[in-house]
Amino acid sequence: MLKIYLARHGQDEDNAKGLLNGRRDKSLTELGMAQAKELAEKIKSKDIHFDIIYTSPLKRTKQTAKIIAEVLNSERPITLKELLERDFGIMAGEPHTKIIEMCSPNILETEKITYFLSPKGAETFPQLIKRAEKMLNKLERLHKDGNVLLVTHGDFGKMIYATYYKLSWKDVLKQFHFGNSDLLLLSKNSLASRSHIFKIKQHNL
């Protein structure tokens, strides 16, 4: 049986400044590196081993994956372009605080985050679901069983989760916050409601 572990990158420079990053290619902050190390140590303490680690091509995920691999003494992470974050379109680089002003009424407000749904140039969540379907199909062709770690991003990570468990993307956006260096387990023997393995105390939007 294939077990898919899903990690979000640590805090990056845009997170620290309250900016919407999307595909902006910023590095981890010192806090972000500490978060990645904390996640790696938690994984090690639970004696979880990965047959392979895949990472999005952006710096923040590659740096997070590298830290995890080093702590676990795993093989070098492999870049998988399909794990790339959502294209934020005109919202990339804008402050979180401008989402309502720039994107209303096409927004979805949750306890922690206000999501923009369809600003100019941005991928929509239904488009992300289709991309997640293709990515998961590819992964299952490559790996029939074992433990695989995917180091990815907030919006796309939640859509991978929604796709795997065949859940509504709107419901998933409201259900939980996928914080920096959090870890999820996607498995046929793991209920969707129990997929959160580790949460890091500090989080960014």
15 marked as part of a ligand binding site? yes
Return the bridge partners of 115, or none: 108
Sheet holding 2-8, edge to edge: 78-79, 52-55, 146-152, 2-8, 183-186, 196-198
11 marked as part of a ligand binding site? yes
12 marked as part of a ligand binding site? yes
123 is catalytic: no
Beta strands in 9-76 (DSSP E): 52-55
9 marked as part of a ligand binding site? yes
85 is catalytic: yes
Give the active site residue among 38, 82, 85, 123. Answer: 85
Indicate the Cα dihedral angle 120, 121, 123, 125, nearest 10°. Answer: 0
And the tokens for 142? 């490559």
Rounded Cα gap, residues 26 and 28, in angstroms: 7
13 marked as part of a ligand binding site? yes
According to DSSP, the β-strands at 183-186 and 52-55 are unpaired
180 marked as part of a ligand binding site? no
189 marked as part of a ligand binding site? no
Rounded Cα gap, residues 88 and 116, in angstroms: 9
**Encoded amino acid at 200, one letter:** I
Give the active site residue among 9, 153, 177, 203. Answer: 9
Q: Which of the residues are catalytic? A: 9, 85
Q: Binding site for substrate: residue ranges?
A: 8-15, 60
Q: Binding site: residue ranges?
A: 8-15, 60
